[in-house]
Amino acid sequence: MKAVHYDAAKTWSVTDVPTPEAAPGQVRIKVGQVGVCGTDLHIHEGEFGAVFPLIPGHEVVGVVDQLGDGVDRFQIGEQVTVNPNVYCGQCAYCLAGRLGQCAAMLGYGSNFQGFFAEYAVADHKLVFSTEGIPADTAVFSEPTSCAMHGLESLQMRPGGSALVLGAGPTGLLLAQLIASGGASSVTVAGPSQFKLDTASRLGVDQVVRISRDDPDANIAALLAASPHGDGYDAVVEATGSPTVGDICVPLTRRGGTVLIYGVTSESDLVRFHPFDVFRREITIKGSFAEMTSFGAAIDALRGGRVRTEGIVTHRFGLDDYGRALDALRADPTAHKVVIVA
């Protein structure tokens, strides 16, 4: 079968590899579409815990093509997705029930073979049916699961105001979940007007266009746009840019929460005044991937609570993986980029 295969960071080809067979307990999936996301750019650089050789790709939708012995939960031809995050079950964190902090976590497409390929196999316990959901929506199962975990991590007080900094696909998914999670208003800010237009179409209350390089002006504009002029109860950093990270605390209301949700480079630093965090009792939290959110995310996509229309802007075949990365990295008209296997 054809697959995107990395020998090392930045060294990849689209090549022929053996088609995997479903072992006992596994499901083989004929890959339909795979989302490309910022994480894949980090993996390309060898970051984000990437282990090579590797077939990347962690946002899959496809159909069941072969069932290993003992698997009776799925039908051949059923549309499914895969939770790419696997906990070990035996480290101190797992044994304490903190699966998301597993010290020996496996990630399909980061340190374990992923889905930029024509076929993939996965343990049936990681496979979730998305039958009946349009494939263009089901391909958002993994990022919506991460957003669902983000909502859980945020633990926002009902009735609060929220600001999501970043109008990328994952920011828009999380913004919708925050809205349905009890926020009184959700504002999305970003520099790209067409992404903000998509945010508005998806039902976000307010969008604010900010610049890429004027933090003081951005703080002023976003405070002015906030419900009481004094910021937001929850501020989500969903860009992975440290320049944006720097403006999160000043935009947070007294007693509010900053959620670090975007993926920065490991060496990046953000700055804040500790006196401000102390005096105004600001909480700063992180939310990493997810482990147990697939069922809830798929339900939210199926029921329309999370909408995805118009987010996919670019589609490429496996052979054009390089163009897909380029589009995600540098094409200002790209929102969600998808590989069609």
Positions touching Zn ion (CB under 5 A) are: 37, 39, 87-88, 91, 94, 102
Return d(Cα 270, Cα 245) in angstroms, integer.
6
Residue 238 or 249: the one with the smaller Cβ distance to Zn ion is 238
Nearer to Zn ion, 157 or 329 (CB): 329
CB of 38: closest distance to Zn ion in angstroms?
7
C-beta closer to Zn ion: residue 37 or 151:
37
For residue 37 the two structure tokens come to 């996301």
Place of tokens 């929460």: 257
On the question of a cis peptide bond just before residue 53, with omega within 30 degrees of 0, the verdict is yes
CB of 311 to Zn ion, least distance (A): 13
Q: Residue 105 burial (CB < 10 Å; 0-12/13-18/19+)?
A: buried
DSSP 212-232: SS-HHHHHHHHHHHSTTSS-E
Instruction: Give the largest Cα separation in the chain, rounded.
Output: 61
Contact partners, residue 96, CB within 8 Å, separation at least 6:
none
CA nearest to 241, candidates 159, 317, 166, 153 = 166
In angstroms, the Cα distances linking 284 to 129, 241, 259 are 35, 16, 6
Residue 52 or residue 93: which is nearer to Zn ion going by CB? 93
**C-beta closer to Zn ion: residue 146 or 234:** 146
Minimum CB distance to Zn ion, residue 40 (Å): 7
CA-CA distance, 80 to 302, in Å (whole number)? 13
Q: How far is the CB of 289 from Zn ion (least distance, A)?
A: 9
CB closer to Zn ion out of 88 and 221: 88
Query: Using CB atoms within 10 A of its CB, is residue 164 exposed (0-12), middle (13-18) or buried (19+)?
Result: buried
Instruction: Report in angstroms how near the CB of residue 20 gets to Zn ion at its nearest.
Output: 22
Given the complex with Zn ion, which of 39 and 218 has the nearer CB atom?
A: 39
Shortest Cβ 170–Zn ion spacing (Å): 7
Degrees, nearest 5: CA angle 315-319-321: 60
61 vs 31: CA distance, rounded Å: 6
- Return the CA Rg of the chain: 20
- Beta carbon of residue 122, minimum distance to Zn ion (angstroms, whole number): 16
| Both tokens assigned to 194 | 């067409």
Q: Of the two residues 101 and 180, which places its CB atom closer to Zn ion in the complex?
A: 101
Q: How far is the CB of 71 from Zn ion (least distance, A)?
A: 24
